[in-house]
Amino acid sequence: MKPFIDDEEIIGILKNTVSTPEKVREVIEKSISKKRLTLEETAILINATDSQINYIKEGAKKLKKEVYGDRIVLFAPLYVGNYCVNNCKYCGFKASNKKALRKTLSENELIKNVEALEENGQKRLILVYGEHPSYTPEYIAETVKTVYKVKKGNGEIRRVNINAAPLDIDGFRKVKEAGIGTYQVFQETYHHETYRKYHTGGFKKDIDFRMTSLDRAQEAGLDDVGIGVLFGLYDWRYELLALIRHTNHLEACYNVGPHTISFPRLQYASDYEISDRWLVSDDDFTKLVAILRLAVPYTGLILTAREPENIRREVLQYGVSQIDAGTKLEIGAYAEEDKMNQNPEKEQFLINDNRSLREVIDELLEEGYIPSFCTACYRKGRTGEHFMEFSVPGFIKRYCTPNALLTLAEYLEDYAPLETTKKGWALIEENIEKELEPKQAQEIRKRLDRIRAGERDLYF
């Protein structure tokens, strides 16, 4: 059988698809009606001339508003260990990097870091592990259970996502039983020749095992998965279309597309060995984010602190629904209050936005976004096909906006300084008046009163 990613097919579509202003507008209209785009339709947007880019971005803004509203989900990455057997030329954790300072958090260190995150108001984490025999499914499951047990004041982690090595079916079953949220496996690059060029040792050399990893997750019953590309290894146009092809594959085989799509750009790392040939410019990056939003209307788009503040601020408009904040990549750094400087020998790569969670929330409120720590869909079983039933037609907003307001209220009551609290409650009231139906507004006001009275973890 041919693999579901066929380089010649994707390159052929890009080469043979003609883009005109009329076609671009037709494709945008289809997307705004909440219909998934085909590969050929996505290629029309990719091949659009510069004069059409504003139409694409405006279409993405409109679609995001209709499907997601103004809420932005917040999370933090927590690196558990950086031992790794792979040799990925772009990664500071690669096995051949003798300068890398290796560490795995002890149980007590893990608890201390989770407590520090909770004290800042975080409710959602993604645990990150190197690809190493020490980080077995059993080990991952145990660390997840440890994180869920940590309670500091009113703080708790309500959703733990995972970024780790591809597993076999039994391995995915074990981590699912621990109560994880999304399991992320990024392909890094779908282009076969490029993949072999940059992955020269370790488990990750096997492109097919990695590419089919989320098929095994689905077969294990883990129906909440995330895909992604590391933009800058190969032509961004090819990689973007390959992401859509992977989405098509999951939908066709399992009736469930990816819950999230990530699109990080290459950043400097210790012992970095990358050509600058395919690095993605800011203009192309903002364009590809807008196209991705239009191509897959229902999927959450994750933007990370790899990007500088100005780029994060811009692409939030075009469809991003999740961002990290208060990010520290050095293992154990959250428990070190004053740890702000980056050390390439202790981190996978360098980030460009090291603002605190409080600073990011303050800016979101200023811009009219609703900072959200919502985990309701996961805990109410709205994942997999059930999630698709709500998200594909755009109905998920009826849950997202009220739940975002409730989690924002919790943050304001427990962690925010006075000025942020005033702005936050004003935004909550504004959204109740403008975005919610009278019956829903009445119900959310009751729950907000309960939060003010000290109750926590209320959601629809």
Q: What is the 3-state secondary structure (H, E, C) of 201-257?
A: CCHHHCHHHHHCHHHHHHHCCCCCEEEEECECCCCHHHHHHHHHHHHHHHHHHHCCC
Beta bridge partners of 93: none
Using CA atoms, how far apart are residues 439 and 51, in angstroms rounded to an integer? 45
Q: What is the pLDDT of residue 392?
A: 55
Q: Which of 313, 317, 340 is nearest to 329 (CA)?
A: 340
Cα distances (Å, whole numbers) of residue 380 to 69, 163, 344: 21, 23, 40
CB atoms within 10 A of CB 56: 24
Q: Give the residue carrying structure tokens 């939030």.
A: 316
3-class SS at 320?
coil
Q: Which two tokens stand for residue 105?
A: 């958090």
CB atoms within 10 A of CB 2: 7
End-to-end CA distance of the chain: 45
Cα distances (Å, whole numbers) of residue 224 to 27, 172, 228: 28, 11, 14
- For each of the chain's 460 residues, which pLDDT tens digit applies? 467 999 999 999 999 999 999 999 999 999 999 899 999 999 999 999 999 999 999 999 999 998 888 999 999 999 999 999 999 999 999 999 999 999 999 999 999 999 999 999 999 999 999 999 999 999 999 999 999 999 999 999 999 999 999 999 999 999 999 999 999 999 999 999 999 999 999 999 999 999 999 999 999 999 999 999 999 999 999 999 999 999 999 999 999 999 999 999 999 999 999 989 999 999 999 999 999 999 999 899 999 999 999 999 999 999 999 999 999 999 999 999 766 679 999 999 999 999 999 999 999 999 999 999 999 877 777 666 556 565 556 555 677 899 999 999 999 999 999 999 999 999 999 999 998 889 999 999 999 999 999 999 998 8
* pTM of the predicted structure, to 2 decimals: 0.95
Using CA atoms, how far apart are residues 76 and 153, in angstroms rounded to an integer? 19
Q: What is the pLDDT of residue 391?
A: 58
Using CA atoms, how far apart are residues 260 and 129, in angstroms rounded to an integer? 19
Q: Outline where DSSP puts E strands in 82-195.
A: 124-129, 151-152, 155-156, 159-163, 183-184
Query: Considering Cα of 429, then 302, then 160, then 251, what sign does the dihedral take?
Result: positive
Q: Which of 445, 372, 446, 442 is nearest to 410 (CA)?
A: 372
Q: Which two tokens stand for residue 150?
A: 């940590």
Q: Kindly state the helix (H) or strand (E) to which residue 310 belongs, with its residue range.
A: helix 309-315
Beta bridge partners of 124: 159
Alpha helix (H) ranges present in 415-454?
Answer: 418-435, 438-452
Q: Which domains does the chain possess?
A: 7-64 (no CATH), 67-389 (3.20.20.70), 396-451 (no CATH)
Query: 399 and 440 in contact (C-beta within 8 Å)?
Result: no
Using CA atoms, how far apart are residues 131 and 152, in angstroms rounded to an integer? 30
Q: Which of 23, 43, 120 is nearest to 411 (CA)?
A: 120
DSSP state of 259: S
Query: 335 and 112 in contact (C-beta within 8 Å)?
Result: yes
Using CA atoms, how far apart are residues 298 and 304, in angstroms rounded to an integer? 19
Amino acid identity at 120: N
> CA triplet 209, 211, 215: central angle to 5 degrees?
90
Using CA atoms, how far apart are residues 83 and 128, in angstroms rounded to an integer? 11
Query: 243 and 227 in contact (C-beta within 8 Å)?
Result: yes
Q: What is the pLDDT of residue 67?
A: 87
Q: Which of 126, 71, 144 is nearest to 322 (CA)?
A: 71
